[in-house]
Chain A
C-alpha cells in the first residue's frame, strides 16, 4: 500500500545522479492555482530509491494555501538533513509559465513547465526514463502533448489532444509500456489543471479511473479534488 513509502526506512541506492551522502537539493516553485500534481507521483517514486526530505513553504506573493497543498508531499518527511540524499523543497509562489525548477541556481537557467520538471525527476530515477530509446521517445510524445497541447494549446488543440489520448487508450491501458508511469501522472495533471478531468468520456475516463486506483496516485486524487 501507499503507506509503505511513508513508514519504512528508505534504502540507499546509489544511482548515477545522486551518489552517497551528497545532498541533492531540488527546489520547485509552483502556483497554488495550478498545482503540479505529478510531483506527488514522482516524489513517491524517488522515495523508493533515495532517502528524501521535503519542506513546503509559502512565498509572500501568495496569500494563503489550502492545507491539502501544504501537506501534499508525504506530510513533510522529517529526515534530518545530513541523512537525506534528496532534499525537495516546494515553494508555493505566484509564478507564471508553469512551475519552475532550480537545482543549481548559479549555473543553470530556471527550468519551467511540469513536463520538464517531471523529466528531471524521472532522470534521477534508476533506471532513468531515457534508458530505452523507444520508451523515452514515447514518454516525450505524451509529455509534449501535455505541455504543448493540453496546457499551452487553444481549445482546438486541446480537443485534438484528448482525441489522440482516447485513440491510444482504446488499444493500451497506459500511456507508456505495460504499467502506470510518471507520464500518466503528468497527463492526468494537465487534464486536471485545464478542467478536463471531470468531463472526460470513453477510454480517457476509464484510464483516469485506472490511474486513481494506483498507489502512487492515491494522494494526487485527494490533492486534486
Chain B
C-alpha cells in the first residue's frame, strides 16, 4: 500500500517521520516537504496531527508492534499519545508531567511493554521540541535523559534528527 505524506518543512511532525522510517520495510510512504502536514485517508478524513498520522501508520503495519501487542498495550500507547499533547505539549503542565514521566521510566526501557511503539515516538518528539526546558536539569530527570538518549542513539532517530531544521540556525534544505 502506498501512502503519501505531506510535511510542514519548518515544523515537521517528528513522531510521524519516526514512524515512516521505522516502517520503511513494511510500507512505501512518499514524503513531500511543503507548507502543511497532512495525510489524506478519504474525502471524509485527512490527518493533520502527528498523533493521528502515527496511529494510522501503525495500524497499517500491525505486525510492527508499534501500537502494542494486545488491547491493554494499545490503550497504554493511547495514554502516552494524549500525554504528549495534553501534558508535555502544555507549558503550564510541562514540569509536573516531566516528573511523572521520570518516575514511570524508572524501571522501563520503553514506555509500553518491551519494544518501541508510537508512544515512544510521540513523547520523544514532545521532549525534543522542548529540549531547552528540561535538558539542563539534574537528577530529577535522570530517567528521562537515559531513555531519551537511548532512543536518540538509534538509527531511525539519528536519521530523522538529521532531517529536521536546526534550532537557532537557518533552516536546512530538507529535500
CA distance A103 to B44 in the complex (A): 34
A4 contacts partner chain B, Cβ-Cβ < 8 Å: no
A160 contacts partner chain B, Cβ-Cβ < 8 Å: no
The answer to whether B104 and A141 touch across the interface, beta carbons within 8 angstroms, is no
The answer to whether A120 and B72 touch across the interface, beta carbons within 8 angstroms, is yes
Among A109, A116, A128, A141, the most chain B Cβ lie within 10 Å of the Cβ of A109
Q: What residue of chain A has the Cβ atom nearest to residue B103's Cβ?
A: A109
On chain B, the residues within 8 Å of A130 by CB distance are 59, 74
Among B42, B49, B79, B90, the most chain A Cβ lie within 10 Å of the Cβ of B79
CA distance A103 to B45 in the complex (A): 32
A interface footprint on B148-166 (CB within 8 Å = 1, 0 otherwise): 0000000000000000000
The answer to whether A147 and B82 touch across the interface, beta carbons within 8 angstroms, is yes
CA distance A198 to B86 in the complex (A): 25
Q: What residue of chain A has the Cβ atom nearest to residue B67's Cβ?
A: A130
**Helix, strand, loop or mixed for chain A's interface?**
helix
On chain B, the residues within 8 Å of A110 by CB distance are 79
- Pick the contact of B71: A124, A136, A152 (CB < 8 A): A124
A123 contacts partner chain B, Cβ-Cβ < 8 Å: yes
The answer to whether A108 and B45 touch across the interface, beta carbons within 8 angstroms, is no
The answer to whether B41 and A134 touch across the interface, beta carbons within 8 angstroms, is yes
Q: A136-B59, A137-B52 are in contact. Are A116 and B82 (CB under 8 A)?
A: yes
Q: A17-B71, A133-B60, A148-B86 are in contact. Are A111 and B76 (CB under 8 A)?
A: yes
A74 contacts partner chain B, Cβ-Cβ < 8 Å: no
B75 contacts partner chain A, Cβ-Cβ < 8 Å: yes
Q: What residue of chain A has the Cβ atom nearest to residue B113's Cβ?
A: A107
CB distance from A88 to the nearest CB of B (A): 15
On chain B, the residues within 8 Å of A120 by CB distance are 71-72, 75
CB distance from A147 to the nearest CB of B (A): 6
Tell me the count of chain A residues lying within 8 A, CB to CB, of chain B: 31
On chain A, the residues within 8 Å of B49 by CB distance are 144
CB distance from A124 to the nearest CB of B (A): 7
- Pick the contact of A113: B42, B47, B82 (CB < 8 A): B82
Q: What residue of chain A has the Cβ atom nearest to residue B70's Cβ?
A: A17
On chain A, the residues within 8 Å of B56 by CB distance are 137
Question: Which B residues from 71 to 124 make CB contacts under 8 A with A?
Answer: 71-72, 74-76, 78-79, 82-83, 85-87, 90, 104, 111-112
Q: A134-B42, A136-B59, A138-B45 are in contact. Are A103 and B52 (CB under 8 A)?
A: no
CB distance from B91 to the nearest CB of A (A): 12
- Other than A137-B52, A138-B44, A140-B52, give 16 A-B pairs with Cβ distance below 8 A: A108-B72, A108-B76, A109-B76, A109-B104, A109-B112, A110-B79, A113-B79, A120-B71, A123-B74, A128-B71, A133-B59, A134-B45, A136-B59, A141-B47, A147-B82, A148-B86
Q: List residues of A whose CB falls within 8 A of some B CB.
A: 17, 97, 101, 103-104, 108-113, 115-116, 119-120, 123-124, 128, 130, 133-134, 136-138, 140-141, 144, 147-148, 151-152
Q: List residues of B whose CB falls within 8 A of some A CB.
A: 41-42, 44-45, 47, 49, 51-52, 55-56, 59-60, 71-72, 74-76, 78-79, 82-83, 85-87, 90, 104, 111-112
Query: 3 closest pairs, A vs B, by CB?
Result: A123-B71, A152-B86, A120-B75
